[in-house]
Structure formats: C-alpha cells, structure tokens
C-alpha cells in the first residue's frame, strides 16, 4: 500500500485502483485542495482508470467534498474510466441522498461489490 | 443549564473548527444525540463557508460573528458576516438539471435539511439556525422547509 500526501492511501489492482481516505473529517479548504491534487495525480498517471473511492474512515464531510467528487468523476469519465464509491456510512450517505448525488455516483456497500460492478480491467 | 456564547472569528476557513470545538462539549454535556451533533456541525461548517466565501468575499480583514445557545430543547446558532447580503430565494436548487453536475451550490440545501429552522435577516448577511432536540421535534416551520 502506498501513501500519497497524508490524505489517502492507494492500492493498485488489476481491475481497479482503490483510494482510501485516511482522514475522519474532510472539511477545510486545505484538505480539499490536497485531496484534489492527490486524486487528480492518481487519475493522471493512467490512460484510463477504474477508480474505487473507499470512505470507510470518513465520519464527516462538507459539501466542498461533493464538489471535489464531481470534478474527479468528470476527469475519470473523460478518460473513459469508471468511478465507484464504497463503504459510505449511513450519515454520509444521507448527504448524498439529500443532494441527489446518488443519481450520478455509483455507490456500493463495500470494495468487493464495487470491484464486481466494474466492467473489464483498467 | 443553557449555554450561550458570542464569538467573532476571522474569515479563514479553519476558524469555525475552533467554534465547533467549543460547542461540542456543551452539546455532549446536554445529552444531545450524535445525530443532533452531526447536524449542527455540518450546518455550522456550511454556513461559515458561505459567510466567508460569499459574504466576506474571502477578505481576511472581515469577520464573522457567531452567536450560539445550547438550550434544553434546542440549539440555536446565528451567524453574521460583514458582506452586503444576498437574497436566499434566488439561489438555484442544486438537485435538478445542470445544477446537479455543478461542483458548488449545495451548502444552503444541507443547512435547510439538517436544521429545523433557517431564517435570513432582511439584508441577507445573517442567518439564524435552530435544531430541535430529536425526540421533541415540532413539525417543520415554513421558514425551515427545503426549497
């Protein structure tokens, strides 16, 4: 497992790249900026990426994180990749539901289901 | 015993973290649920972001005043920035059409969803938010309903 900047840990698999957020709370502008740099860097390393974002550690996030996820999603799909979110707690899921972002993000219960839902290899 | 406090903080994004750190022990001591605490935290963060970014235009010499009161049946927060204000009615709904794909614009929706009352003053530079204790919630007032 590799660590990039303190915000995420990354695992590279055949089927997908799994990025796990390491912070319990993702709030401040600085957090978001660093996360964006990390994620865009990971996406940019590959021509096409199947990206799984694991939220198992995340207990709190602000709407700025939702904006970041939209930007990440756009970049992944521009490169003909796929994006899955997983291990989102019920409270955080409620935020996605209220904002209707459950309509644009594929959210799966865990890594296994997220990986299984991906078409093909990266 | 009710707790009330008034603080003035700078327009730096991290300033509200200190306010929540002051507020949280009072909420726990008053036996507010984790749901209530989560909701208040989120609304505080979103309102503060709006105050700093849109109200004070990120100007570091401008301040945000936060008044809060922890009472037996409700938590009340009033946040005031030094901006010229805005009309909350003109903010587009981020849940539909192209707005769903925009990276910004969800703060007020989350504030309205997690707090029971959201009211702006006439100028639009001050917002009053109330969250009632979970088990004693009255029906939502028109002022607090989602758009």
Say whether pLDDT at B1 is over 90. Answer: no
How many domains would you assign to chain B?
A: 1
- Assign B147 a pLDDT band (cuts: 50, 70, 90): very low
Q: Check residues A7 and A22 and name the one with the higher pLDDT.
A: A22
Say whether pLDDT at B141 is over 60. Answer: no
- The pLDDT tens digits for B64-95 are 999 999 999 999 999 999 999 999 888 999 99
Would the CB atoms of A62 and B42 count as touching at under 8 Å? yes
pLDDT at A22: 92
User: Could you give the CA distance from residue B12 to residue A6 in angstroms, rounded to a whole number?
Assistant: 22
Burial group, residue A83, by CB count within 10 angstroms (0-12, 13-18, 19+): buried
Collapsing DSSP to helix, strand or coil, B70 comes out as strand
Give chain A's mean pLDDT. Answer: 91
- The pLDDT tens digits for A33-53 are 999 999 999 999 989 999 999
Domain membership of residue B66 as a residue range: 3-144
Collapsing DSSP to helix, strand or coil, B145 comes out as coil
Q: Which of A30, A70, A98 sits opposite B103 (nearest CB)?
A: A70
pLDDT at B60: 86
CA of B105, closest CA in chain A: separation in Å?
8
Backbone angle region of B97, left / alpha / beta, with phi > 0 → left and psi within -120 to 50 → alpha: left
Q: Check residues B146 and B109 and name the one with the higher pLDDT.
A: B109
> Given CB atoms, is A70 within the 8 Å cutoff of chain B?
yes
For residue B31, give Cα distances in angstroms to B5, B23, B108, B136: 18, 13, 27, 13
Q: Which of B35, B41, B109 sits opposite A99 (nearest CB)?
A: B109
**Spatial contact of A67 and A98, defined as CB atoms under 8 Å apart:** no
Q: Which of B14, B104, B109 sits opposite A98 (nearest CB)?
A: B109
Q: Which residues have CB under 8 Å from A97's CB, separation 6+?
A: none
User: Could you give the CA distance from residue B2 to residue B75 in angstroms, rounded to a whole number?
Assistant: 10
Taking contacts as CB-CB distances below 8 angstroms, the residues of chain A near B42 are 60, 62, 95
| φ, ψ dihedrals at A48, nearest 5° | -145, 135
User: Which residue has tokens 């609304």?
Assistant: B43
Taking contacts as CB-CB distances below 8 angstroms, the residues of chain A near B52 are none
Alpha-helical runs (H) found in chain B: 15-29, 34-50, 107-114
User: Could you give the CA distance from residue A29 to residue A83 in angstroms, rounded to a whole number?
Assistant: 23
Domains of chain A: 2-115 (3.30.750.24)
β-partners of residue B3 are: B70
Q: What is the ipTM of this complex?
A: 0.89
CATH code (residue B64): 3.30.565.10
pLDDT at B139: 58
Say whether pLDDT at A66 is over 90. Answer: yes
Say whether pLDDT at A108 is over 70. Answer: yes
For residue B57, give Cα distances in angstroms to B11, B51, B61, B91: 9, 8, 10, 17
Give chain B's mean pLDDT. Answer: 91
């Amino acid at each position: 497992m590799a660590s990039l900047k303190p915000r995420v840990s990354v695992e590279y698999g055949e089927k997908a790249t799994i990025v796990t957020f390491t912070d319990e709370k993702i709030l401040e502008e600085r957090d978001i900026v660093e996360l964006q740099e990390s994620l865009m860097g990971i996406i940019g390393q590959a021509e096409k990426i199947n990206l799984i974002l694991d939220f198992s550690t995340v207990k709190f996030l602000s709407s700025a994180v939702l904006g970041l996820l939209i930007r990440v999603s756009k970049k992944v799909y521009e490169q003909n990749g796929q994006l899955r979110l997983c291990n989102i707690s019920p409270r955080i899921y409620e935020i996605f539901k209220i904002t209707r972002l459950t309509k644009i993000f594929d959210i799966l219960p865990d890594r296994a289901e997220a990986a299984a839902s991906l078409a093909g290899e990266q | 015993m009710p707790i009330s406090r008034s603080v003035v903080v700078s327009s730096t994004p991290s300033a509200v973290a200190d306010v929540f750190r002051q507020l949280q022990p009072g909420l726990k001591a008053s036996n507010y649920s984790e749901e209530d605490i989560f909701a208040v935290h989120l609304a505080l963060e979103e309102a503060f972001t709006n105050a700093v970014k849109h109200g004070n235009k990120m100007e570091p010499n401008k301040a945000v005043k936060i008044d809060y009161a922890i009472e037996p049946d409700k938590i009340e927060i009033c946040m005031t920035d030094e901006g010229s204000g805005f009309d909350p009615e003109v903010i587009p709904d981020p849940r539909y059409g192209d707005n769903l794909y925009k990276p910004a614009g969800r703060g007020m929706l989350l504030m309205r969803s997690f707090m029971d009352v959201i009211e702006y003053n006439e100028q639009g530079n001050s917002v009053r938010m109330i969250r009632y204790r979970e088990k004693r919630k009255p029906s939502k007032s028109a002022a607090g309903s989602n758009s």
